[in-house]
């Protein structure tokens, strides 16, 4: 009986105890993670195909959404399946893969945070400085910014987990355990407090300007076609700002628990209830983003209809009207 409770029965003195979640609980967790993984991959793949294929959707704002969808797609394709595999079991993939198990999600999460900052900057310029938006926020500028975001996320993740990559398993107390130790204060500041502060400050400014613009619109009557067009443009920009604001708020709700816990402890044990809850919440955000697009973006619904009905395979479909 004692051997049956060990991760590696042949290592009686150094093997970890095997966790034994209730069968009903394990089945529920496996089912939820599988469904989440499948939905995350499919929905974000639809976003990627839509923005990449249809020329009407090739805008600076959508390029940032594409970056966010790519990170969410890989969360569903790589991270959640491994989480499903290891839920309620011992770690059997080795110490190096244990470090990579945390490194890859960390890079994807950092890229998502960076994409959120870029989204906030895009909306800030569009609402607060619309006259210079087309000259300041160009496709080239956004493409370079997105590339730098992913490069920084990769190097920052390697920096944070350098000790674990150099000496995998250094914090494990027994075989079958996967533990990493991060500098909680540095990670909290660089990956959460600083970017979230930037996001909140920019969106507070956007909110103030949006309210003032709404009041100005109500107090004036459109007397010319030019004013009417300007007002329509402002309304579309404000609607985009509200939609992306929802994305940012949902992101904060899903990611805040993890970074709040780093204030108290930097050690995270794979298979613990705390790790499972935080992982579920963070991964759920990757599934929610395309759902938000479906509710608020008509172009996404039209693009999905084109893709599902295979109209995307027709010649010249990239020039189809989806706006």
pLDDT single digits (tens) 48-86 = 999 999 999 999 989 999 999 999 999 899 888 877 776
Task: Identify the band that residue 188 occupies on the pLDDT scale cut at 50, 70 and 90.
Answer: confident
pLDDT at 284 over 90: no
Task: Identify the band that residue 241 occupies on the pLDDT scale cut at 50, 70 and 90.
Answer: low
pLDDT at 243 over 80: no
Q: How far apart, in whole angstroms, are the C-alpha atoms of residue 207 and residue 187?
A: 29
pLDDT at 102 over 90: no
pLDDT at 270 over 80: no
Which residue ranges make up each domain of the chain?
A: 3-319
Task: Identify the band that residue 208 occupies on the pLDDT scale cut at 50, 70 and 90.
Answer: confident
Mean pLDDT, all residues of the chain: 80
pLDDT at 229 over 50: no
The answer, as to whether pTM is greater than 0.85, is no
Contacts by 154-162, CB closer than 8 A, 24 or more apart: 154/107, 156/110, 156/190, 156/191, 157/103, 157/106, 157/107, 157/110, 158/103, 160/106, 160/186, 160/187, 161/99, 161/102, 161/103, 161/106
Task: Identify the band that residue 253 occupies on the pLDDT scale cut at 50, 70 and 90.
Answer: confident
- What DSSP state is assigned to residue 314? S
What the block records as the tokens of 61 is: 């704002």
Highest mean pLDDT (candidates 15-19, 99-103, 220-224, 309-313): 309-313
pLDDT at 272 over 60: no
Are residues 176 and 15 in contact, defined by beta-carbon separation less than 8 angstroms? Answer: yes
Q: What is the pLDDT of residue 8?
A: 82
The domain 3-319 having CATH identifier 3.30.70.20: the answer here is no
Percentage of residues in the chain having pLDDT higher than 90? 21
Q: How far apart, in whole angstroms, are the C-alpha atoms of residue 51 and residue 61?
A: 10
Task: Identify the band that residue 24 occupies on the pLDDT scale cut at 50, 70 and 90.
Answer: low
Residues comprising the chain, all counted: 323
Q: What is the pLDDT of residue 47?
A: 93
| Average pLDDT rounded to a whole number, residues 194-203 | 86
Secondary structure class of 4 (helix, strand, coil): helix
Are residues 241 and 268 in contact, defined by beta-carbon separation less than 8 angstroms? Answer: no
């Amino acid at each position: 009986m004692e051997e049956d409770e060990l991760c590696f029965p042949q290592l009686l003195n150094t093997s970890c105890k095997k966790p034994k979640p209730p069968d009903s609980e394990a089945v529920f967790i496996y089912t939820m993670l599988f469904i989440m993984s499948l939905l995350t991959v499919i929905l974000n793949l639809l976003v990627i195909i839509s923005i990449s294929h249809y020329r009407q959707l090739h805008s600076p704002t959508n390029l940032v959404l594409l970056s966010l969808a790519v990170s969410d797609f890989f969360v569903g394709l790589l991270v959640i399946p491994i989480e499903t595999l290891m839920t309620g079991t011992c770690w059997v993939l080795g110490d190096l893969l244990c470090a990579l198990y945390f490194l890859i999600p960390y890079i994807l999460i950092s890229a998502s945070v960076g994409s959120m900052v870029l989204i906030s900057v895009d909306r800030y310029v569009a609402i607060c400085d619309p006259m210079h938006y087309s000259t300041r926020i160009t496709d080239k500028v956004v493409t370079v910014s997105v590339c730098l975001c992913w490069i920084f996320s990769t190097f920052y993740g390697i920096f944070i987990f350098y000790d674990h990559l150099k000496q995998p398993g250094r914090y494990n107390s027994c075989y079958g355990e996967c533990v990493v130790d991060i500098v909680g204060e540095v990670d909290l500041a660089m990956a959460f407090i600083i970017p979230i502060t930037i996001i909140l400050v920019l969106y507070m400014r956007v909110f103030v300007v949006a309210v003032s613009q709404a009041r100005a619109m109500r107090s004036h009557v459109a007397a010319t076609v030019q004013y009417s067009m300007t007002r329509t443009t402002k309304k579309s920009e404000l609607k985009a700002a509200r939609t992306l604001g929802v994305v940012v708020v949902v992101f904060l709700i899903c990611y805040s628990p993890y970074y709040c816990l780093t204030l108290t402890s930097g050690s995270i044990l794979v298979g613990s209830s705390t790790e499972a809850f935080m992982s579920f919440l963070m991964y759920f955000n990757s599934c929610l983003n395309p759902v938000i697009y479906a509710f608020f973006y008509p172009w996404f619904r039209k693009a999905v209809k084109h893709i599902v009905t295979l109209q995307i395979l027709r010649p010249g479909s990239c020039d189809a009207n989806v706006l």
